[in-house]
């Protein structure tokens, strides 16, 4: 396993590469131990963290093939959709990746309203 994807202090890897596929673990909205309260900011943080992981393999947001979104019932779907759409439009991507969305009762940390994992083709 490539050490650049190991997440120190946890039993999880940020991603695992298998051939030309990069399987990215669920990314939460925290940045430097801070979690924004708005679903828009939480969505943006998750997507930017996924993009940074892909960039370690010289890819970018265009390489995202599939995403799974886990969100709590308190999420405003309109705010999520607006930020999700804006993220891809900011990267000039208008054909969105395949996606699934799952509503869950709670995520790993109480302040998280959303977590996103992804598969990228490199």
pLDDT tens-digit profile of 28-81?
999 888 999 999 999 999 999 999 999 999 999 999 999 999 999 878 889 999
What pLDDT, on the 0 to 100 scale, is given for residue 74? 77
Other C-beta atoms within 10 Å of 76: how many? 13
Per-residue pLDDT at 10 exceeds 80: no
Other C-beta atoms within 10 Å of 50: how many? 25
Q: Is residue 10 part of a domain?
A: no
| Rounded distance between C-alpha atoms, residue 6 and residue 67, angstroms | 21
Q: Is residue 9 part of a domain?
A: no
Contact between 94 and 40 (Cβ < 8 Å): no
Total structural domains within the chain = 1
Helices 39-55 and 77-90 cross at an angle (nearest 10°) of: 40
CATH code for the domain of 72: 3.30.1330.40
Q: Is residue 79 part of a domain?
A: yes
As given in the structure block, the two tokens for residue 92 are 């000039």
Closest Cα partner for 69 from 79, 56, 59? 79
User: What is the span of the domain harbouring residue 61?
Assistant: 25-108
Tally of residues, the chain: 122
| Burial category of 63 from C-beta neighbours within 10 Å (exposed 0-12, middle 13-18, buried 19 and up) | buried
Task: Say what the pTM is.
Answer: 0.93
Other C-beta atoms within 10 Å of 46: how many? 27
Q: Is residue 85 part of a domain?
A: yes
């Amino acid at each position: 396993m490539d050490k650049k994807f190991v997440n120190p202090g946890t039993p999880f890897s940020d991603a695992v590469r298998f051939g030309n596929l990069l399987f990215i673990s669920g990314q939460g909205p925290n940045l430097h131990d801070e979690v924004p309260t708005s679903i828009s900011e939480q969505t943006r943080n998750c997507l930017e963290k996924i993009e940074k992981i892909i960039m370690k393999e010289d890819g970018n947001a265009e390489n995202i093939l599939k995403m799974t979104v886990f969100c709590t019932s308190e999420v405003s779907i309109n705010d999520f959709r607006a930020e999700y759409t804006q993220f891809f439009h900011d990267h000039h991507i208008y054909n969105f990746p395949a996606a699934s969305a799952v509503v869950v009762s709670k995520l790993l940390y109480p302040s998280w309203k959303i977590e996103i994992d992804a598969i990228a083709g490199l």
